[in-house]
A and B are shown apart, each in its own frame.
Chain A
Amino acid sequence: MKQEKNILKWFNNELSEQEWDDLKQSDGFETLNKIAHYSSYFQAPKIDAEKALLGFKTSHSTKKEVKVRTLNFRTLYKVAAVAVIMLSASYFMFFNNDKSFETRIAQTKTLVLPDNSEVILNSASLLSYNKKTWKDKRDLELDGEAFFKVSKGQKFTVNTDVGSVEVLGTQFNVKERGNYFEVQCYEGLVGVTYNNTQVKLTKGKTFRIINGIIENVEDFNILEPSWLQFESSFVEVPLSHVIEELEIQYDIEILLENVDTDQLFTGTFTHKDKNIALQSVTIPLKLSYKIDKQTVTFYEYGKN
């Protein structure tokens, strides 16, 4: 045991003279000494340190770049901006609460609103409402002409550029074409608001404004607007509005030669036959017409 300690000391170069002499006398010293001697002449492969470093740098330099990664805020802002744009765009695309219907010239459309009210849109008209607030407030925007069969319920309001129409449950027709505004009540009670004054219409009554002037119109006793039967009816209406209506129904352009557009027209024209319609307007007014493709010219009878 003591010898073992001394051997360890020997290999660690900590042996004193005395201990060294003792050890020399011990068994197996010769072998140990030889081991100690020869084993110190082993060698490990010599490394060319500079070359190894160079090799290390080339083979491991790529790892260095992966190490540090800063957050690029500019890219982040770009990504954020794109995300915001896409979100808001999709909001307007998919969550747009405005529902609108549109008819073109010479086209009508029958719609059923969420409360089962029925709307028939006449030609070249636009109707829109907000789906979200519809439950609380039956509000519609109308540009053009439409016939409403309103189911009973809360206040039902049709807004136009000229005036608004309020009802509870009834049937009525609203016509708003340029400076011509007309509401006709076919059933129940209709309230028309124009310039902050409200006019109540009972069945068969008409409220009409032309160029901002309220006109008196005789009562009617038909059950629904004539345009639902593909006819347009007029009672003492200036010719200019009749012509407007003709243009909308037949997709034509009407030119006038020495024709008084203020003269009043009472009558009906059909939506089904252009020639008959033109005749039914021109003949009572003692006018003639000629057709050139999409253009129709009215002129005084006998002058051409």
Chain B
Amino acid sequence: MSSKKPNLCNETYFNEFYLQHIQSASNFAYYKCGDKAGSLDLVQDAFSKIWENCSKIDFTKAKTYLFTTVNNLFLNIVKHHKVVMEYAKAVPYQEATNQSPEYLLEEEEFKQKLQHAISMLTDAQREVFLLNRIEGKKYKEIAELLDLSQKAVEKRMSGALKTLREKIDNI
């Protein structure tokens, strides 16, 4: 991308673009559809759309285009999975010294509640929430990515947190 006129029709630039964004795009697709294999297919299709239309896409807008395409492709899919996220590993909430069996059980219960609560979120809320939490993205970045205003992202985040709190506290 240091070159003056990067063009996605150029295979070198395309490969670079692909390698750079495949992970985040497939994460995004996964947050939306919750299907491991399906999310990669979605992203591959999105990339192929970019490859086909490479001459029409401005290189600087390609990332937004990619995410928008994933989003659109996702909306085209009728089959909708219930999105249940998986934890990477057991991460204690408090210091290791403080772990009584009772406490650990409680924590495990909380984690399950959280999983369930997240699956109850709307697609729009969940994608914002997970992009923020897992990928540590700022609202502004998410807004750019999804082609939304920052206000809209904040609203979704707010809504997501509210729902989560209600679900977890009440159940």
Q: Which residues of A contact B (CB under 8 A)?
A: 4, 7-8, 11-13, 28, 31-32, 34-47, 49-50, 52-53, 55-56, 59-60, 63-64, 67
Contacts and interface: CB of A to CB of B under 8 A. Distances in A.
Interface stretch (B59-67, B69-77, B86-94): B86-94
Interface string B133-171: 110101100000000000000100110010011001100
Given A34-B110, A52-B22, A53-B15, A41 B138 contact: no
A38 B114 contact: yes
Interface of B: 15, 18-19, 22-23, 26-27, 30-31, 36, 39-40, 43-44, 47-48, 51-52, 85-89, 91, 93, 110-111, 114, 118, 129-130, 132-134, 136, 138-139, 154, 157-158, 161, 164-165, 168-169
A63 B18 CA distance: 17
A45 to B, nearest CB: 5
Given A39-B114, A39-B134, A31 B165 contact: yes
Contact of B133 (A42, A49, A60, A64): A42
Most buried by B among A28, A36, A44: A44
B87 A41 contact: yes
B134 A40 contact: yes
Q: Does more than half of chain A's interface fall in helix, strand or loop, or is it mixed?
A: helix
A44 B52 CA distance: 28
Contacts of A4: 158
Given A28-B169, A42-B88, A44-B26, 11 more contacts: A35-B161, A35-B164, A35-B165, A37-B91, A38-B87, A38-B111, A39-B129, A41-B89, A43-B88, A53-B22, A60-B44
Contacts of A42: 85-88, 118, 130, 133-134
Contacts of B158: 4, 7-8
Contact of B86 (A39, A43, A56): A43
10 contacts: A12-B138, A35-B161, A35-B168, A37-B93, A40-B136, A47-B22, A52-B44, A56-B47, A56-B48, A60-B47
Contacts of B89: 41
Nearest to A52: B22
B40 A47 contact: yes
